[in-house]
Amino acid sequence: MPDTSHPLHVERNTQALLQDMLTELNQLSDGGIGSGHDRLAEQFRQLRDELTRFRLRYKFALDAVTTKIDILREEFEEAHEHSPIEHVRTRLKSPQSLVAKMVKLDLEPTMEAVQASIHDIAGVRIVCPFASDVYWISDMLTSQPDITVLEVEDYIRAPKPNGYRSLHLIITVPVYLSDRTEHIPVELQIRTIAMDFWASVEHQIHYKYEGAVPDGLRDELRDAADTAASLDVTMGRLRGEITEFQH
């Protein structure tokens, strides 16, 4: 097995290194290397099982948050004329992504260090029709007594330099296990349809150019972000006029 602490290995592409580690892990776990490696194989199996159990808690946290969101969405669809939730997506970091972030943050290789330092293992993205809905959803969720807000980053009121606009929150939600209750962090990203469309295109371009986006294209993306924000403002104003007329 390669010495991953060696500087040459640290400088390698992280994904390639992780793939090598996972391939070897599978070989060892399947007993494909021989009895002389039984002890090492057992250590790998224990690490794999611990990581599986660790990620399961975050899956449960995702389930808890999405249940809350589903209840709000169904209530508004049945009882009100307008639902503030267009669609919802969830994401649970893969073991490869977790290890990559541990390497990036230079964390100790323990689950305790990961839980203390990485708060976006479980993520929920809520897409809303209007910008005002973003804050409405945020207020409704964070006012629930079993949710604790750890962090808020408002990129709508203060966009990132590239034009990115979204409301990010880190919350904790209780997960009731057989022998204890744990408060697990979940990242919420709440944005409008226009913001979500822009972010999706920006991500694809960023991935295609491996982060080195040409200046001209970068400027166009920034202009498109401003256009999306302007569209949100216009549509919000039009909705306000319609609502006022109906009353």
Catalytic entry in 77, 86, 187, 244: 187
Q: CA 232 to CA 15: how far, in whole Å?
A: 38
The DSSP letter of residue 84 is S
Q: CA 2 to CA 163: how far, in whole Å?
A: 42
- Per-residue pLDDT of 85-129, as tens digits, reads 999 999 999 887 887 888 888 888 778 888 888 999 999 999 999
- Statement: residue 32 has pLDDT above 70: no
41: left (phi > 0), else alpha (psi -120 to 50), else beta?
Answer: alpha
- Statement: residue 159 has pLDDT above 80: yes
Band the pLDDT of 23: cuts 50, 70, 90: low
**Alpha-carbon distance values, 218 to 192, 215, 222 (Å):** 21, 5, 6
Tell me whether residue 202 is one of the annotated catalytic residues.
Answer: no
The DSSP letter of residue 21 is H
163: left (phi > 0), else alpha (psi -120 to 50), else beta?
Answer: left
Q: CA 152 to CA 186: how far, in whole Å?
A: 12
Q: Which CATH superfamily is domain 7-246 in?
A: Beta Polymerase, domain 2 (3.30.460.10)
Q: What was the pLDDT predicted at 44?
A: 64
Segments making up each domain of the chain, as ranges: 7-246
Selection from 192, 148, 191 nearest residue 170 by Cα: 148
- Per-residue pLDDT of 184-234, as tens digits, reads 999 999 999 999 999 999 999 988 888 788 989 999 999 999 999 999 999
Phi and psi for 44 in degrees, rounded to 5? -65, -45
